[in-house]
Amino acid sequence: MIRISALNDSSSSEDEEACNKPTQTKEAKESEAFAAYNKALSYQQSGNWEYAEKLLRNLFENPFVKEATTLVESDDEAPSSSSPLHPGLQLLYLVHKNLASILLQRKDL
């Protein structure tokens, strides 16, 4: 990231630390969440249901999925047909669906 400042600027070190902190982009968060979901699917397909369940439950703590969860919980205004849906909503649905499938196979449902 390029930062322009005056040569005689005496900014505090706190400002510099705030600018130098690495932040994860929305696309990176989305990619990380879908990678974890795909990993859980591979464990589910191989029959390792306990580990797949653990990975799926951990996805609920993922910031990308949490953002989608808050959209569902707030439900203040219904999305219009012209506005795009949050991509995390599909992932949230798929996590619930596959978690239910695992619990059904283990007869824990």
pLDDT tens-digit profile of 27-69?
Answer: 899 999 999 999 999 999 999 999 999 999 999 999 999 998 8
What does the alpha-carbon distance between residue 18 and residue 42 come to, in Å, rounded to a whole number?
Answer: 39
What does the alpha-carbon distance between residue 17 and residue 3 come to, in Å, rounded to a whole number?
Answer: 13
pTM of the model: 0.71
In percent, how much of the chain has pLDDT > 70?
Answer: 75
The residues, ordered by sequence, that sit 6+ positions from 34 with a Cβ below 8 Å of its Cβ are 91
Nearest to 101 by CA among 38, 43, 49: 49
Of 56 and 83, more confident? 56
